Each structure stands twice: as structure tokens, then as C-alpha cells.
Structure 1
């Protein structure tokens, strides 16, 4: 009966990814071409026996939506970020970057991302008051009771959506390119905001791939950790590179409950293939008409303030590098991850050369 347990774990992660897929639609990303990211990643995991799957990730979607003003800029940011991550993955420099910057600075950046997600959630609640505040209230209540992110996202998204549909008679009209079951080439554009966005997305993914990837590996109970970070980074970069040119949404590393299944590789592949089928059949687009983008505000808020921020802030503020890490945290929260890591690197390496320090 292992296959049934694997399937249930896969379905749980699919339920976690659906609201974030809806968030991707609200940002204008095309859903149909995104299925190939899931198919590609499932094939790679099958060939190499990787336990770390890819899926929609709220953090990368929120960051891309914040830094890109329209679909063309957002897909260009994803393309640029994926090229950077592919170079990092192929050359095996992911862990070297962390070794150079130090765990404190990396954790400070991730903690800043937690605050940034909470700010985005509150902005959503201000713009769509009923949906956003209902979502936040439900998410906070469910998480305090269960400490379970899957229940938190399911209850808050469904509850907020029902409130919007029955009280405000909400029904979203999605753009044709979002729901079209065909391929539409999206020509990349280059500008300083796009470059900065690509660097920011790459910085976020460096931290997420290491932290989320290794956490997923730990959930298997295998020692040493079975996750190959360079393979994971290369897979994620290639998956995003292809779909970004077709207007598709990014798929990134997640903390996946499939790793705790009896057959973690099989469960992860099941999850990605189920998600690919949902996108191919157009079910997500049909569901998305009745789910406001602000319905995910509660999950973003809890993810930011209760999951990402506390653990990373605790790591960042330990030891001799805590001041630099704290500045990295604040700059990331106020500006973006690239500015945060850049400020941390300057404070750690450049100022001492000038005889200065913090």
C-alpha cells in the first residue's frame, strides 16, 4: 500500500500548490506552457532519483510580481534569473556562494524576504479588503491551532474565496493569454529594472534552494542529505528558462511533504505529473475565475512572519556577524534580496579593507 501513501502525500502538495498557481494567473502568467516545467522536472527527478520536486512558490511569484510592471518584464526577470541560476548550478558554485557570504548573511536575506511577504500580504488586504482580511484571519487562526501549512492555505483560500463569491459576487475575467491552451512567444526585454529583478530572483533562489532543498532532504530521514543542490538548481533553471519564453509561470524549489512518503522520489514525480495534468486540462483556469488573488494573502502572511522570518532571523542574529546580517535583513525587507545581499557583502568585505567595520 506504499503507492497509496505516496499518492496522498502528492495530493497534499498539489493542494498546497493550486492557490499559488492561481496567484500566478493573477499576475498574468500563462498556465498551459507551465505544465512543461512540471513534466521536465519529473523526468529529471526520475532519471537521477532526486527527492526534491519543483512547484509554484509564493515567494518567487510575489517578488516577480513586485519587481515586474507587466508580463513581459516579469517573464524577462524569470529568464534572466534562470540564466544566472543555470550558470551557478552547472559550475557548482551554489554552496561556494554561501561559504563566502556566510550563513548569517544568507539567513538575514531570507528573513528579510519573510518581512517582504508579510508586507505584500497586507497590501493585498488593503486593495481587496474583504477577501484579504478574511484570508489573513482564517490563516492565522488555522495555523495557531494546527501549525500545518497545508491546512492553513486550504482553509484560508477556500474561506476567503467563498466570502468574495457569495458576498461580493466575485468572478474574475482572466486575460485570454492566461487561459489559452496554446503557446504564445513572449519576447524578452532588457532594462535596468529587469536586470535588478533577475539578480534579486537569483538571490532569492540561492537561499531557497539551499534551505528548502535541504529541509526537503531532511524529511526523508536519509543521511547524508540526499538532495544534490547543483542538480536541483540546474533543473529549476532549465524549467523556468523554457516556459518564461512562452509567458509561463516560474516553478521553484519548495518544502515538499512528498519527501516523507515511503517512496519520496515516486511521490514527488506523482505530484508534478498531477499538477501538469491539471494545467493541461485547464482545470486551474476554471477554478481561478472564482478565487481572488488576495485569497492567498493569509498564507503569504503566515509564511512570512511565522515560518520564514523566525528561524532565519534567529540564525542571522547569532555570533559575530549579527550586525551585518541584521542590516542585510532590513535592506532586503525594504528594497529587494539583491540589494540585501549586496549590502551584506560590502559590509563584510569592503569596509574592513578600508579600515572600517560594523
Structure 2
């Protein structure tokens, strides 16, 4: 009955990814070309026997939505960011970058991202208070009772959507979001896009390291079966193609498929199911009746309770606690790239002039 357990794990991760896919549509991303990202990484994982799948990731979507003004800017940020990550993955420099910066600064950056997610959630609630605050309330109560993110996202999104149905809520999604055609989006380059791409790359470095290794640990295999360079390269390659077609980014996630009897097969099943949902156009049908702010509760819990406390504890306990604190605050107020660069300048620059923090 291994196949049934693999299938159930895959379906669970798909259900977790659907609300974040709806969030991607609310940011103007086309879901049809995104299907090919799931297919590509599924193929690579099958050939390489990798247990780490990709899916829609709330953190990267929120960051790109915050940094980019429209679809072209957001797609350009993803394209350039994915180009940087592809080079990093192909050259195997990810471990070197992480080792140079240190776990404290990486954790500080991730903690700052947690606060950034909470801020975005509150902004969403302010824009659509009747749905946003309900989502945050449902998510808070559900997480306090269950301590489970899957239940949290399910109850908050479904509950908010049911309430929205009573108000006859409908949203007209742009044609390029719902169409099952491929349309080229020409990248543009500017200082703003470069900053955005560097911020997205910094977030992905931290997410690949933490989420990727956690997924590997869930398999119970030793040593950890996740190849970070392969994960980084395949994810970046998928984003490179779909960003040129206006598709949404797919990133590393903590996936319950890793705890299935056959984690590689379960992860591939999850990505194939998601690909089928996108190719058949089922997600846009949901997106028309589910408020984008239904995801606000999940973002708030993810940022304040899941990401921030653990990473802040790691960041603020050690010899570089002050530098890590500055990194955390700058990340939360500006972006991940500014936060990491500030931390790196303080870590390596102050000793050169005989100062320390």
C-alpha cells in the first residue's frame, strides 16, 4: 500500500500549494506556463532521484509582489534572480556563500523575511479588511489549536472563501493570467530590478539551505539526501523559462512528501498533479471566487510564528548577535539583499578598521 501513502502525501502538499497559486494569480502571473516548471523539475528529480520538490512559495511570491510594480517588472526580477541562482547552483558555490556569511547572518536574514511577511499580511488585511482580518483570525485560532500549517492554511482560506461567497464575491482575473496560451514577456533591466533580483536570490539561498535540508531530514536517511546544488540549479532553470512567459516562480518548500514511503515518487506525483491542475485551467476557476487576501492569515502565521522565532533565536545567540540584529532589522525594513549586505559589511569591515560589535 506504499503507493496510496505516496499519493495521499502528494495530494496534501498540492492542497497546501493551491492557495499560494491563487496568490500568484493575484500578482498577475500566468499559471499555464508555470505548469511546465513543475514538469521540468519532476523530470530532473526522477532522473537524479531527488527527494526535494518545488511548488508555489508564499515567501518568494510576497517578496516579488512587494518589489515589482507590474508583471513585467516582477517577471524581470524572477528572470535575473533565477539567472544568478543557476550560476550559483551550477558552480557549486552555495555552500561557500553560506559558510562565508555564517549561520547567524543567514538566520537573521530569514527572520527579517518573517517580519516582512507579517507586514505584507497586515497590509493585505488593511486593503480588504472584511476578508483579511477574518483570514488572520481564523489562521491564528487554527494554529493555536492544531500547531499544523496545513490545517492553518486550509481553515483560513476555505473559511474566508465561504464568507466571501455569501457576499457574492467575484474577481475578474486578467486574460493573460487565465489563458492557456504562451505569451512572451520581454525582460527589462534597471537598478530597481537588479536590487529585486539580488533580494530574491538571497531569499532563495536561505530557503534552499533551510527548507531543502529540512525536507531531506524528513526522509530519515543519513547522510541528508538533498543535493543543494542540484536543487538550486533545477529550481532556477524552471524559473528562467517560465519568467519569460509571465509564469509564477516555483521554489523550494518543506514538503510532506519526504516522509512518504517512497519520497522521490511522492514528490514527483505532487508536481505532476499540480502540473495537471494548471494545464486544465482549474486553478483560475478557483481564483475567481477566492479572495487574494484569504492567504493573509497564513502569511501572518508563517512569518511571525514559524519563520521568525526559530531564526531570530539562532541569529541573536552567538558572537555576532549585534551584527545579526542589524541584518534582521534592515531585511525587515528594506529587503533581504540590503540586510545581508549590511551584515556582511559589518562582519568583515569592522575588524579591518579595528572595531567590533
Asked if Structure 1 and Structure 2 have the same fold, meaning a TM-score greater than 0.5 normalized by the shorter chain, the answer is yes
5+ residue gaps, structure 1: none
Structure 1 segments of 4+ aligned residues over 2 angstroms from their partners: none
- The equivalent residue for 2:336 is 337
- The equivalent residue for 1:213 is 212
Q: Does the alignment pair 1:174 with 2:173?
A: yes
1:355 is displaced (CA, Å) by 1.8
Residues 130 and 163 in structure 1, CA contact (< 8 A), matched pair in contact too: no
What's the CA shift string for 1:5-30, capped at 9, x where partnerless? 00000000000000000000000000
1:356 is displaced (CA, Å) by 2.1
d(CA) in 2 for partners of 1:160, 1:357:
50
The SS at the match of 1:52 is coil
- The equivalent residue for 1:80 is 80
1:303 is displaced (CA, Å) by 0.4
- The equivalent residue for 1:185 is 184
- The equivalent residue for 2:225 is 226
1:147 is displaced (CA, Å) by 0.7
Q: Does the alignment pair 1:307 with 2:317?
A: no
1:351 is displaced (CA, Å) by 1.7
- The equivalent residue for 1:107 is 107
- The equivalent residue for 2:117 is 117
The TM-score normalised by the length of structure 1 is: 0.99
1:89 is displaced (CA, Å) by 0.2
d(CA) in 1 for partners of 2:242, 2:292:
22
1:354 is displaced (CA, Å) by 1.6
Alignment of 1:51-62 (within 5 A): 51-62=51-62
5+ residue gaps, structure 2: none
- The size of the alignment, in residue pairs, is 357
Alignment of 1:1-358 (within 5 A): 1-167=1-167, 169-358=168-357
d(CA) in 2 for partners of 1:72, 1:356:
44
d(CA) in 2 for partners of 1:354, 1:239:
43
d(CA) in 2 for partners of 1:225, 1:130:
45
d(CA) in 1 for partners of 2:342, 2:160:
38
1:165 is displaced (CA, Å) by 2.1
